[in-house]
Structure 1
Amino acid sequence: MTLTDSGPALRISCDRDLLDEPFVYEYLHRNMYWAKSLTWDQFQRSLDHSALLFGVYDLSGGYRRQAGFARVVSDLATFAYLTDVFITEESRGLGWSKQLLQAVMAHPQLQGLRRFLLVTEDSAGLYAKFGFRPLEDAGHWMQVFHDPGGHAAASDASAVPLPGTG
């Protein structure tokens, strides 16, 4: 299914068969600090168990080149988490990140969600244009976070014994 077809150069689609999975994996692994330890198996499982995968394709030059990607983890009813979002360096400055987010936010299966989350260090301004804002109730959220080596952080709940277990 093509979600966006803006002129001859851009296509955004959720068709998993179009994804250049090795390219997406290598791009994430090479360019995203949080994906440095991501294995191919973990990457494949993340794709297999995600609700939606958005591919951004540059159609100029007579062929289709993967130019971006976004992944949505969701129950498609109440909650979604947007992650692994990127536009390649050579495709930046063309407005494609905005078009990708427009496609994500307009997707029929993501309408009516109670909560849609993401984590960003450097693109909050872009995401704010689409309604994202800092958590108002951040103090109520908890997490189990594992470092890139796969070990639980010392502040994780896993480091604290449950009552009656230790």
Structure 2
Amino acid sequence: MISTTNDSSFQVSTDRTRLDVPMIYRFLSENSTWAVGISRTTVERSIENSLCFGGYLDGRQVAFARVVTDYATFANLADVFVVPEYRGRGYAKQLIRVVMEHPSLQGIRRFTLFTSDSHSLYARFGFAPPQQPDSVMERYSPNIYLS
């Protein structure tokens, strides 16, 4: 699937063969706030087991997002980023719009994500704090990639 966004030079694709895995790994392991220290093997396994979206300008990947899903009832949006030199141009909004409009992700009952600083971006797409926070539990190991 390739989708041209509002900015016709920015394209989003789910074609795994186009993903710049070394760039994705470098960003996540060195520059993200959520996966510093993650191994290349873990990044590759996460890509293999997710619906991935690459954002491209002139054939160069500048953005990424992935969705972990059963394609029926549950989806979790993860690892969303735009490389720093391309931020502030609306590419994150365009990327998320394409993710949310993907045909395989329609009719999902629970679509989740975790963010520490981009609440307003995701609120534009219908994300909100849990309606029943007392029903949410997690097992979280924030420093697992550093051990």
TM over 0.5, shorter chain: yes
TM-score normalized by the length of structure 2: 0.93
1:5 Cα offset (Å): 4.7
CA distance in 2, matches of 1:21, 1:150: 18
Q: For 1:29-108, what aligned pairs fall within 5 Å after superposition?
A: 29-50=29-50, 52-59=51-58, 64-108=59-103
Deviations 1:29-60 (A, max 9, x none): 1111321121111111111111x10000111x
CA distance in 1, matches of 2:7, 2:43: 31
Q: For 1:1-166, what aligned pairs fall within 5 Å after superposition?
A: 1-6=1-6, 8-50=8-50, 52-59=51-58, 64-149=59-144
CA distance in 2, matches of 1:35, 1:84: 9
- Structure 2, gaps ≥5 residues long: none
* Distance change (3 Å), C-alpha of 1:150 and 1:40: closer
CA distance in 1, matches of 2:41, 2:24: 13
CA distance in 1, matches of 2:73, 2:102: 14
CA distance in 2, matches of 1:147, 1:91: 27
After superposing on structure 2, the runs of 4+ consecutive aligned residues of structure 1 that deviate more than 6 Å are none
Structure label with greater radius of gyration: 1
Residue equivalent to 1:158: none
CA distance in 2, matches of 1:110, 1:149: 29
Higher mean C-alpha deviation, range 67-76 or range 3-12: 3-12
CA distance in 2, matches of 1:17, 1:90: 24
Contact kept? 1:3, 1:14, Cα under 8 Å: no
Contact kept? 2:19, 2:54, Cα under 8 Å: yes
CA distance in 2, matches of 1:4, 1:11: 5
Structure having greater relative contact order (Cα 8 Å, sep ≥ 6): 2
Deviations 1:116-136 (A, max 9, x none): 000111110010000000011
Q: Percent identity?
A: 45
CA distance in 2, matches of 1:44, 1:125: 29
* Distance change (3 Å), C-alpha of 1:150 and 1:89: closer
- Structure 1, gaps ≥5 residues long: 152-166
Count of residue correspondences: 146
